[in-house]
Structure 1
Amino acid sequence: MAEGRRGLGRGLSALLGEAEEGAEGATATGGVAGEGVREIPIELIYRNLEQPRQYFSEADLAELETSIRDKGVLQPILVRPSRAQPGQFEIVAGERRWRAAQRVGLKTIPALVRELGDNQAFEIAIVENVQRSDLNAMEEARAYMALMGRMGYTQDQAANSVGKSRSHVANTVRLLQLPHPVQEHVLNGRLTAGHARAILASDDQERIAEQVVARGLSVRDTEALVRAKAAGPKKASGPRRAAKDADTAALETDLEDALGMSVDILDRGGAGELKIKYATLEQLDEICRRLTRT
């Protein structure tokens, strides 16, 4: 079972390779039935609504558009004949190329036509996307969950299907535990998968995510921020804490939010001490950097 499922990923590469080899000798046959590589009018092709990739970077599309304008579409997209709309085709793999070709103004696009069932097309679409290094981590997590839900796969079976390790699938699916606003940050590229995994360890995930985005923190800084929050502020004991006025307590909170570190202000009639507790050397470097900034 494992070998058969893992072979699907390699089979997809071979399938697309076959399309590339056959593209040079392909002729324009429009919507004629049958399998093979052909030039198909772009208006006869429509996107797959179950496409795992929902976010298309404008920069990536612009780069691909430039490449297509200069060299044409080098690799055919993969489509299947539409069952609902005869003479039309649904994209199985290659939506980004199709989008960029439209932006260039091409009338046709090379496509490899294959007769595929719904589940087979669904699985191939996911395999093709997750094997690309630039797939958004949240889209990848949702793709694994959809694959397991629709096909009834375990994490092991899903991993074999896409040619990834089980631990990779498990760790990626964990990102779905993040609150929706944090997932949106990942989906839209404001947070990376590394940021998201670090934030998972926090019990105040939305607040941490907002601080990371607002301050442009690195993954390493995010991990340090989460550790500092988990350690909690080491402030005065109960009676001493209660003696602080509301303004001082509010200022401590503001400084902690800004620094991501524990802050203690001891005010004695306008004079006193400001204590900042750091949990890592990186946080100490950040304090020094801020204090010496000119």
Structure 2
Amino acid sequence: MSNAAEFPGGGADTTDAASADVNETPTAAVEVASPPRRGLGRGFEVLIGGAGTPELAHLPIEQIHANPRQPRRRFEHEATAGLADSIRSQGVLQPVVVRPRLEGGYELIAGERRWRASREAGLATLPCVIREADDRDTLLLGLVENVAREDLSVIEEARGYALLMDEFELSLGEVSERVGRSKPAISNKTRLLELPDDVLAMVERGELSEGHARAVLAVPDQAERRKLARKIISQGLSVRAAERAARWSGAKTKPRTKSAVDPVLAAKIRDGLKRLTGLEARVAPGKVELQWNDEADLENLAEALARLGL
């Protein structure tokens, strides 16, 4: 969105009470602000975990830290500078969402661009909603906000989904339900992570569209994928032309004997084996491994196989 000083559910509110004293010098105690007069929008209610208007706290901006798991990696300086100008004239019209850190201070859950722009604008305090959230919920909430605002690149979005399924072991269905995306949409995006890193970088820089990336992904060989990506850029191929080139390249290339592991499919396999056997599983190209610690684990595995008639 071009102006993050707007509410998800409506236009900007220049009389918002949340921004009234945002430039005051911070004190030792946290200053609690009056609730804003207008609703914060459906997207914000998702982030704060319930309906109704939340109570806001004005926190010293130096006590707020970026989230290292923030799905969004690229922040355009021009857009941030424009938002900083808006904040200087109107204040921060929508608070950020933070969680307390064990080592002190607060970590951003949502609103990093507003935080960056507020620092650039020279603000001393920032209106915040404070909530308790673990690492998984923090990643989920960051994805919810950025997906709703369409702030993420397709690769940033895909990496967020893959992290939820791989590191936090959420199923595809759970991710779909929590972020409000269909399962096919999530699966299609995470498959793009099979592309070589240099091709992923082309997508993130905007040199290749998501449609172009899907065409490149149809080629089974990584070296051929790189060649096709460079050809698309150098010749300015349309998505349809790229798809034709991918079919031609694929016809010349023998399929790999061991394909890259689809992270969505791998998560489903791990979940299923965990429910069936009680054992942790590792899915790698060409193999699936079950990890056991003692004879009791093996007995549980034997019983699970017996239930299947094996």
TM normalised by structure 1 equals: 0.64
| SS of match in other structure, 2:245 | helix
| SS of match in other structure, 1:96 | helix
Quickly say closer, same or farther: Cα 1:210–1:63, change in 2 above 3 A.
farther
| SS of match in other structure, 2:149 | coil
The 5 A counterparts of 1:187-226 are 187-203=204-220, 204-226=224-246
Is the 2:95–2:128 Cα contact (8 Å) retained in structure 1? yes
Percent identity (aligned): 39
Is the 1:79–1:113 Cα contact (8 Å) retained in structure 2? yes
Quickly say closer, same or farther: Cα 1:57–1:195, change in 2 above 3 A.
farther
Matched, 1:72 2:91: yes
Code of the residue aligned with 1:191 in structure 2: it is L
The 5 A counterparts of 1:115-134 are 115-134=132-151
Give distance in 2, aligned partners of 1:136 and 1:103: 24
The corresponding residue for 1:172 is 189
Which 5+ residue runs of structure 2 have no aligned equivalent? 1-7, 10-14, 33-53, 253-310
Is the 2:71–2:152 Cα contact (8 Å) retained in structure 1? no
Quickly say closer, same or farther: Cα 1:231–1:63, change in 2 above 3 A.
farther
- Regions of 4+ moved over 4 Å: 24-31
Quickly say closer, same or farther: Cα 1:118–1:21, change in 2 above 3 A.
farther
Code of the residue aligned with 1:50 in structure 2: it is R
Give distance in 2, aligned partners of 1:56 and 1:33: 29
Is the 1:178–1:205 Cα contact (8 Å) retained in structure 2? yes
Matched, 1:157 2:177: no
Give the number of the structure whose alpha-carbon radius of gyration is greater: 1
| SS of match in other structure, 1:38 | strand
Give distance in 1, aligned partners of 2:248 and 2:89: 51
The corresponding residue for 2:5 is none
Q: Which has the higher helix share?
A: 1
Code of the residue aligned with 1:39 in structure 2: it is H
Give the C-alpha shift of residue 176 in structure 1: 0.8
Is the 1:64–1:97 Cα contact (8 Å) retained in structure 2? yes
Which 5+ residue runs of structure 1 have no aligned equivalent? 1-12, 15-19, 233-294
Give the C-alpha shift of residue 226 in structure 1: 2.5
Give distance in 2, aligned partners of 1:60 and 1:190: 19
**Residue in structure 2 matching 1:138, options 146, 155, 166:** 155
Code of the residue aligned with 2:18 in structure 1: it is A
Quickly say closer, same or farther: Cα 1:120–1:33, change in 2 above 3 A.
farther
Matched, 1:39 2:58: yes
State how many pairs are aligned: 213
- TM-align CA RMSD: 2.8
Matched, 1:63 2:63: no
Is the 2:80–2:117 Cα contact (8 Å) retained in structure 1? yes
Quickly say closer, same or farther: Cα 1:82–1:46, change in 2 above 3 A.
same
